[in-house]
Structure 1
Amino acid sequence: MTLSNGHGDHEALRDEIRQTRAELAETVQALAAKADVKARIKGSAAQVTGRLRDQAAHVTGQARTQAGERAEEVRSSVSEANRAVQRQPVPWAAGALAVAALAAAVAYLVLRRGRR
């Protein structure tokens, strides 16, 4: 910068140099950050880890909800089966007896075949 008499304004020039240095320092810092691959990878890994943790928490919550719903369905089915047995115990007992007889017959045949 020059004044009308040909002499420069030294203070204004110094301010301009300070401003340029500050801008240059910011540019160098930005370039250094981009060049720091290790730090960038760590940052990316931290982001991915955070997303995976969030997804895991979401899936775990869904699984717990579904497990609770299924448990309630099973309780309801067992309760209905108990009421059915209490209303008509004879058919259930006959079925259980038939299953036991079949199991005994199979066991007898298996043992008999093993002795040969």
Structure 2
Amino acid sequence: MTLSNGSGDHEALRDGIRQTRAELAETVQALANKADVKARIKGSASQVTGRLRGQAAHVTGQARAQAGERVGEVRSTVAGANRAVRRRPLPWGAGALAVAALAAAVVVLVMRRGQR
């Protein structure tokens, strides 16, 4: 530091100046970062994009898991229906024939109404 008569430790003054310059450089850099709105917006956008991608991956994983469960349930139901048809094919065949006849009757009625 400088004494009142002008003499002092020059090296200590130089160290103080270096430290002040370093602090000033950090402050200027921080202000420049705050002033760079475009970079801040890009940073925010990339954070939001990353978060949304993570959420989308999570939801997709859940949907696939649920779809897999439903496929298993449908396969089980179809297998049970196949077993039932193999055990007693006549009632199932008669039911299918009745449904086909009903569908044919509906088609004929619709076509007749369309011709009027």
Using the size of structure 2 for normalisation, the TM-score is 0.90
In structure 2, relative to structure 1, the CA distance for the partners of 1:6 and 1:110 (3 Å cut) is: closer
The CA distance in 2 between the partners of 1:84 and 1:26, in whole Å, is 80
Match of 1:38 in 2: 38
The CA distance in 2 between the partners of 1:3 and 1:104, in whole Å, is 114
Match of 2:54 in 1: 54
Q: How does 1:1-116 map to 2 (within 5 A)?
A: 1-2=1-2, 7-116=7-116
> 1:91: Cα distance to partner?
1.1
RMSD over aligned Cα atoms: 1.7
Tell which deviates more after alignment, 52-61 or 98-107. 98-107
Paired-residue identity, %: 84
> 1:6: Cα distance to partner?
5.5
The CA distance in 1 between the partners of 2:41 and 2:4, in whole Å, is 56
Gaps of 5+ in 1: none
Instruction: In structure 1, give the amino acid aligned to 2:42.
Output: K
The CA distance in 1 between the partners of 2:25 and 2:45, in whole Å, is 28
The CA distance in 2 between the partners of 1:5 and 1:109, in whole Å, is 120
What SS does structure 2 have at the residue aligned with 1:99?
helix
Count of paired positions? 116
Gaps of 5+ in 2: none
